[in-house]
Structure 1
Amino acid sequence: MPRRCCMPNCRGNYDNGPKVSVFYFPSDENLRRKWLSAVHRQDWTPSKHSVICELHFNKDDILSSTSMYDPKTGILLTAPLDRRRLRKDAIPSKLPGCPSYLSSHQTAVREDPEIRRGRLENRALQIAIQESVDTHAKMIDAISFDSLDQMKTKLSECEKHSDWVVINKSDSVRLVLLKHLCIKQ
Structure 2
Amino acid sequence: MPGCAVSNCSNYNKKTKGTGVKYFSFPKDFKMCNKWFSMCNRKDPVNFKNACICSIHFSEDAFDIPMQQRLLGYAPKTARRLKPDAMPTLNLPNRPENVEDSVKKRKREDREHRAIKRSRRAVLKDILSSPPSSLPASAIIETVENQECSVGERSEKSEKSEPASTNTNGQSMNIQERLTVLSFDEIYVYFESNMYRQVTATKGRST
Structure-1-length-normalised TM-score: 0.40
More strand by share: 1
Structure-2-length-normalised TM-score: 0.36
Which has the higher Rg, Structure 1 or Structure 2?
1
Higher RCO (C-alpha under 8 Å, 6+ residues apart): 2
